[in-house]
Amino acid sequence: MTLSRKDLTTEKQNPVSHKIDSRSAYEIIEIMNNQDATIADKVKDVLPEISRVVDMAVTAIKNGHHVFYVGAGTSGRLGVLDASEVPPTYSAPRNWFQGIIAGGREALERSIEGAEDHPEDAIRDLKEFGVEKGDLVIGIASSGATPYVVSALKYGISIHAGTAYLICNPTPLIPVDADVVIAVDVGPEIVTGSTRMKSGTATKMVLNMISTAAMIRIGKVYSNLMVDLQVVNNKLQDRGSRIIAKMTGLSYETAGDALNQSGGSVKTAVVMTMKKVNRKEAKELLDSYNGNLRGVIGDIDDTLL
């Protein structure tokens, strides 16, 4: 059976929000909250697919390639947001995760919704970003019907990049032979067709999972601590000092001194302290384990963590 837009779950009316325009402010947000509470279970249903995409992202990055989120409208903005938060959180290179949005950077601040209807622009944009064989292209489209995203995925397939298709319907309106399809069935939106709501929430959750789990698997986290933090402001100076103190048993003040001596790198400071080496030697040790702190210091006393 050929689907049309009216068949999409996200385009159907939600009986729960019938006559919502006659409700009080509290009743409106209570309905929204109750519906939002269902999203985590819907995401749970597709954890196997998300896990596969995490493994693909790790493989791409470890092989010197990159992950590209591609979307339009809300989907594109969420992709750019997630990609932009990886470098400051994990001291990761800016090109490991990149967001491409239909309409370009201007579309981040104002609606350029017509941009999604130009599939040729996707090919141009992916070429400009240097997408190549070995990269991972993650197309994001709540409906599974966005021409820009479909074109990006087909281009990714044609150059032998890895591909994943993140949608918020049971099946995409326009099927693509992607390596993985992550279909989060969020159900009808509170305001019919407003996919910035439940679909946006689900998309944010899935993208957070992909980037966070990939960074953990690559070694950017020790236990649950943000050890690859690089100090660039007072907040991170404080957080870094507390992490070092927790892992090494140093006082907060001494940990802060170690952080300064390391050049603002938590990982380096921990290795300097625990291995009793200088900054240069600590960096060499980390490099020998591809930056994996656990590889250098092994397991530490759980009571410290």
Residues known to be catalytic: 85, 116
* Residues sharing a CB contact under 8 Å with residue 93, sequence separation 6 or more, in sequence order: 87
Task: Give the Cα separation of 151 and 286 in Å (integer).
Answer: 41
DSSP letters for 211-242: HHHHHHHHT--BTTB-TT-B--SHHHHHHHHH
Token pair belonging to 181:
């399809």
Task: Give the Cα separation of 297 and 300 in Å (integer).
Answer: 8
Exposure of 23 in the CB half-sphere (CA atoms within 13 A): 14
Task: Give the Cα separation of 127 and 122 in Å (integer).
Answer: 8
Token pair belonging to 133:
């064989």
DSSP H helices in the chain = 25-36, 39-44, 47-62, 73-90, 119-128, 147-158, 198-218, 234-248, 252-261, 266-275, 279-288, 293-297
Cα–Cα nearest to 228, from 121, 131, 96: 96
Task: Give the Cα separation of 276 and 259 in Å (integer).
Answer: 14
Task: Give the Cα separation of 35 and 205 in Å (integer).
Answer: 15
Are 162 and 136 in contact by the 8 Å Cβ rule? The answer is: yes
